[in-house]
Amino acid sequence: MHIIVVGLNYRTAPVEVRERFAFAEQELPKAIEMLKRTPSIMECVIVATCNRTELYAVVDRHVLCGHYIRHFMEQWFGMPREKFTKYLYMYEDEAAIRHLFRVACGLDSMIIGETQILGQVRDAFLLAQRERATGTLFNMLFKQAVTVGKRAHTETSIGESAVSVSYAAVELGKRIFGGFGGRTALIIGAGKMGELTAKHLNASGVKRVLVANRTYERAAEFAEKLGGQPLRLEDAAERLTEADVVISSTGSHEYVLTKAQVERAMRLRPSRPLFLIDIAVPRDIDPAIADIPNVFLYDIDDLEGIVESNLEQRRREAAKIETMIGEELEAFLNWYKTLGVVPLIRALQEKAARIHEETLRSLTNKLPDLTEHELKVIRKLTKSIVNQMMHDPILRIKEMAGDKKAREAMDLFVKLFALEDAVLRGETSARPQTSEARADERPDDAGTVRKTAGRFAAATP
Amino acid sequence: MYGFAVHGLLVLYALSLLFYFSDFVSESRKVKRMGAGLLVFVWVIQTGWLIRRLLQLDGPSGLTRFETLFFFVWLLVTISLAASRVARIELFVFAVNVVGFSVLAAVAAEGPSAAPLERWDAGQYLLIVHISLALAAYALFTAGAVLSLMYLLLHRQLKSRNWNAVVRRMPSLETIDRYAFGAVLAGTPLLILSLAVALATLLMARGAEWLADWKVFAALVAAVAYIVYIAMRKRRMHPGLLTARWNLYAFCALLANSLIGAASRFHSWS
């Protein structure tokens, strides 16, 4: 069996292509049902978000499965494969698992470390599980993906810092005030950036919003959206005593706030800090205002610098998460390797139980005068002998399932305990099939880049 | 508690601070948890030893400088652990415990000392009250001073528009200022009560003429400095930077008071 993922994302396809490969939420169950019925696909999950559409599948033959999945996409989206294959990527086995883990941790997202994707991966898995499209492999794999995603966010600070200018302004404000509850924001200029920052502040609990604009009607319109109070631009300086945060983004070529105005305001509220955000170009606020005690002035360059610093911090955290992913991948592969021995162990235990029962029956025939208590004791003791005899071989075969020569060990196990009949009867699952180890990246006939990995394929049962 | 035991405690204490510092330099929650765990362990050992010593002492006459300063360090560790439960404030925990570690190391290096309370006869029990209140006040003022230092550091970083790991991980200016004020607000009445008890003891055991002493003067200056800080902060007529600085000036007065023992006729404790 192999795990593959075929998909496209914001890196490989522009939005006008991605939108044609979007799954409507209500159609997903039907799509999963159809994918499940595709030849060679044993388990499947569809992860569909605004930035990616990915089809995960457990297949019995990887060679043709890419073709079958592309055929499914052709049929579902009604587009010939020649038109979209160039946007697709395909990962197999270990590379597919690693990709899933990276996606769940937000490392493959447009904003590295974003947390929304984890919920989307979880929801996609739960939907597939409800549609009975998952089995042993994906039940384990996706649960582990969600676990590693949670670990990434709890054990690192990858998702904590702001990576947009407007959020950076909010984060700065929190460093000064702690929270925005009970604070007053003064918005000067009703531009888009100002509006976005104001919305974030509003969402963070700002109690009162004053909006000043050259055109009073525009100020009123803007203020209504935020539940605030409109002002004329010339009145803004007078209301500085009430404001805790000022966001300025006008198109003015002169300073909207001068040092004298701010000094006058600060004399009336000396103990309350004033946070000024100037996102206009050219700047609205006199830079000399930064020298006034208890006034913190930031312009657009400062905010972008903060965003860049935070992104750098996220990249450093991402390196820690890659290590985590390596550990989880190893754990999954180790678990996967033991899958093949489970049927063998079960067969051995059933054989031992059969022998035990037959021996006890023979004993009761030969010694019919044994009391109930004596029989009970004999049964218990003989069972103990059987269990102790089997304990070490079972333990050893579990350990050897993780070795390079796992297949030879399992074959020997079958021979030693004469389990061939049980294997042939199908009481065991399919014997391990080897696949050649591949560790290189190469495009298939249709041009889709395929990434494979060695260890998983070599250990595939 | 000397020799191997106190050195063992110092090693554990140092290790916990090392983990905190390591977390601060290169953020790692696992490392921070290890530091916090070790610090809790240090607190448990300190608590156990204090209880044992309390039970061993036959009255206050056996109290030495080691016990009182050990108690002071225990208070600092307690305050830092309590603060860490309320907010993510690793720098504060680290800084307060650096002070604690320094005091413990200094007093451990000094070795066993005399029991000066023996000379105070009937006033011994009152002096226990005085010392306990004073130490509690000192611990709170130390915490307040560390917080004011943090305020100045963060203020400077924000004013210069430096965005770095220090700024990212500090609580807000408002929060730091509030906690600093809270610590001083709690410590000042303890200091005043401690001084009142000390004055009463002095009058009872020695007489009013002993009030003309450098130690008494320094203690009053420190108390007044903190009262001024509280007044400034309550009236909210000054920027936070100024009140933080004043808090540090008051702490300097307190430090001077604690070191002025040599100039005192009666306070040979410090």
| A336 inside domain | no
User: What is the percentage of chain A residues whose pLDDT exceeds 70?
Assistant: 91
B235 min Cα distance to partner chain A (Å): 9
pLDDT at position B190 is 92
Interface of B with A in 132-161 (CB under 8 A): 154, 158-159, 161
A395 & A376 share domain? yes
CATH of the domain at A10: 3.30.460.30
Number of domains in chain A: 3
Are residues A149 and A199 both part of a single domain?
Answer: no
Q: Please say if the pLDDT value at position A452 is more than 50.
A: no
Residues A127 and A178 in one domain: no
CA distance B123 to chain A (A): 45
Q: What is the pLDDT of residue A442?
A: 40
pLDDT for residue A458 is more than 50: no
Q: Looking at the structure, do residues A150 and A23 belong to the same domain, yes or no?
A: yes
Q: Are residues A358 and A290 in the same domain?
A: no
Q: What is the pLDDT of residues A366-420, one digit of tens each?
A: 999 999 999 999 999 999 999 888 888 888 887 787 677 888 888 888 899 988 8
A258 plus A212 within the same structural domain = yes
Position A207 in a domain: yes
B240 at interface of A, judged by CB pairs closer than 8 A? yes
Q: How far is A444 from chain B (nearest CA, A)?
A: 42
Residues A262 and A357 in one domain: no
The alpha carbon torsion through A146, A147, A149, A153 (nearest 10 deg) reads: 140
Nearest to B163 among A156, A273, A309 (CB): A309
**What are the strands of the beta sheet with A41-48, ordered from one edge?**
A41-48, A52-59, A2-9, A89-92, A449-451, A441-443
Query: Which residues of A are annotated as catalytic?
Result: 50
pLDDT of A141 reads 96
Per-residue pLDDT 10s for chain B (270 aa) are 456 778 889 999 999 999 988 887 777 888 889 999 999 999 999 999 999 888 887 766 677 888 888 999 999 999 999 988 877 788 899 999 999 999 888 888 776 666 655 555 555 677 788 888 999 999 999 999 999 999 999 999 999 998 888 888 889 999 999 999 999 999 999 999 898 888 887 777 777 777 777 888 888 999 999 999 999 888 888 888 999 999 999 999 999 988 887 676 666 654
Tell me, yes or no, whether A108 and A201 share the same domain: no
Q: How many CB atoms lie within 10 A of CB B161?
A: 18
Instruction: Domain of residue A295: give its range.
Output: 165-305
pLDDT for res B201? 79
Average pLDDT score, chain A: 86
User: Looking at residue A437, what is its pLDDT?
Assistant: 34
The neighbouring-strand residues paired with A245 are A185, A275
Q: What is the pLDDT of residue A445?
A: 41
For an interface test with B, give the residue of A158, A271, A292, A314 to mutate (most B CBs within 10 A): A271
Q: Best interface-test mutation with A: which of B163, B166, B234 has the largest number of A CBs within 10 A? A: B163
Together in a domain, A131 and A107: yes
Instruction: Give per-residue pLDDT as tens, A233-254.
Output: 888 988 999 999 999 988 888 8
Q: Are B155 and B241 in contact (CB under 8 A)?
A: yes
Q: What is the pLDDT of residues A28-86, one digit of tens each?
A: 999 999 999 887 888 999 999 999 999 999 988 766 778 888 889 999 999 888 888 99
Express each pLDDT in A391-403 by its tens digit: 888 888 877 876 7
What is the pLDDT, as a whole number, of residue B268? 61
Task: State the Cα–Cα distance between residues A186 and A291, nearest whole angstrom.
Answer: 21
Long-range CB pairs of B230-236, under 8 A, 24+ apart, other chains included: B230/B181, B230/B184, B230/B185, B230/B188, B233/B181, B236/A270, B236/A271, B236/A272
Neighboring chain B residues of A161 at a CB cutoff of 8 Å: 168
Q: Please tell me whether residues A414 and A449 are part of one structural domain.
A: no
Residue A4 contacts residue A91 (beta carbons within 8 Å)? yes
Is residue A395 in a domain?
Answer: yes
Global confidence as pTM: 0.74
Q: Is the pLDDT of residue A121 over 70?
A: yes
**Residue in B29, B174, B236 closest to A155 by CB:** B29
What distance in Å separates the CA atoms of residue A272 and residue A184, rounded to the nearest whole number? 12
The confidence band for A325, taking pLDDT boundaries of 50, 70 and 90, is very high
CA A361 to the chain's CA centroid: 57
Look at residue A456 in the predicted model and tell me its pLDDT: 58
More confident residue, B189 or A459: B189
In Å, how far are A116, A119, A129, A325, B114 from A123, measured between CA atoms?
Answer: 11, 6, 10, 21, 70
Tell whether B2 lies on the interface with A, counting CB pairs under 8 A.
no
The per-residue pLDDT for B65 is: 80
Chain B: nearest CA to A395, how far in angstroms?
Answer: 33
Mean pLDDT throughout A175-186?
A: 91
CA A421 – CA A302 distance, rounded (Å): 74
Q: How many CA atoms lie within 13 A of A335 on its CB side?
A: 13
**What confidence tens digit (pLDDT) does each residue in A340-349 have?**
787 888 888 8
Three-state DSSP class for A110? coil
Strand segments, DSSP code E, in A17-173 are 41-48, 52-59, 89-92
Q: Is A319 contained in some domain? A: no
CB-based contacts of A359, cutoff 8 Å, min separation 6: A382
Predicted local confidence at residue B269, as pLDDT? 54
- A187 and A280 in a single domain? The answer is yes
Listed by number, the residues of chain A in 164-223 with a beta carbon closer than 8 Å to a beta carbon of chain B are 172, 174-178
Residue A291's pLDDT band, with cuts at 50, 70 and 90, is: very high
**How confident is the model over A100-109, as pLDDT tens digits?**
999 999 999 9
Same domain, A398 and A351: yes
A333 found inside a domain: no
Partner-chain residue, chosen from B167, B172, B238, that has the shortest CB–CB distance to A271: B238
Whichever domain contains A178, its CATH number is 3.40.50.720
Residue A154 DSSP one-character state: H
